[in-house]
Amino acid sequence: MQDYYEPKVGDLAPDFQLPSTRGRDMRLEELRGKDVILYFYPKDDTPGCTAEACSFRDLEGDITKGGAVILGVSTDPMESHAKFTNKYKLNFPLLSDQTADVSKMYGAWREKNSNGRRTWGVARMTYWISTDGRIKKIYKNVDAAQHADEILADIQAARKK
């Protein structure tokens, strides 16, 4: 049973404003005219999240050449994001969603079961938001290490059409 809202492909992506590692709040609306890769991840500096962030870092130039902007979102505080960004030289902004409001708006706030213990947290998922602000594609159950490659391949395929 689903007890959270999850936008669908074709929906207008919910606007938000969150603090970023770029030193200012970022609003999704400000990025209209660009494709946005909005990826949600559970926690800074954990093995899967580090692999995912580093793969986005390594492909950031190719992804932005394809006309897209990468934004990473977790509920970690800005101090944690700053350390994570500096440690791995991340070249795209991380956004701090400490209240989980944005994660909830996007259906990324989920109940998890770890060794029989139920907790709530951010699920690893990504939204590709098109230049008109509509959701173009949703990626769920992603492989952290391969996800950026999948996004880049999809962007390149879309540009060829």
pLDDT tens-digit profile of 135-154? 999 999 899 999 999 999 99
Q: What is the pLDDT of residue 2?
A: 43
Residue 55, classified by CB atoms within 10 Å of its CB into exposed (0-12), middle (13-18) or buried (19+), is: buried
Q: How far apart are the C-alpha atoms of 15 and 18, rounded to whole Å?
A: 10
Single out the catalytic residue among 18, 49, 95, 151: 49
Indicate if the pLDDT at residue 15 is higher than 90.
yes
| Three-state DSSP class for residue 58 | helix
Pairing relationship of beta strands 135-140 and 125-129 according to DSSP bridges: antiparallel
| Three-state DSSP class for residue 93 | coil
Model pLDDT for residues 82-91, shown as the tens digit of each residue: 999 999 999 9
The model's pTM is 0.93
Q: How far apart are the C-alpha atoms of 78 and 133, rounded to whole Å?
A: 26
- Mean of pLDDT over the chain: 93
Q: What is the pLDDT of residue 1?
A: 35
Residue 152: closest CA among 56, 63, 53: 63
Model pLDDT for residues 62-81, shown as the tens digit of each residue: 999 988 999 999 999 999 99
Q: What is the pLDDT of residue 4?
A: 58
Model pLDDT for residues 101-136, shown as the tens digit of each residue: 999 999 999 988 878 888 899 999 999 999 999 999
Model pLDDT for residues 21-64, shown as the tens digit of each residue: 999 999 999 999 999 999 999 999 999 999 999 999 999 999 99
* 54 among known catalytic residues: no
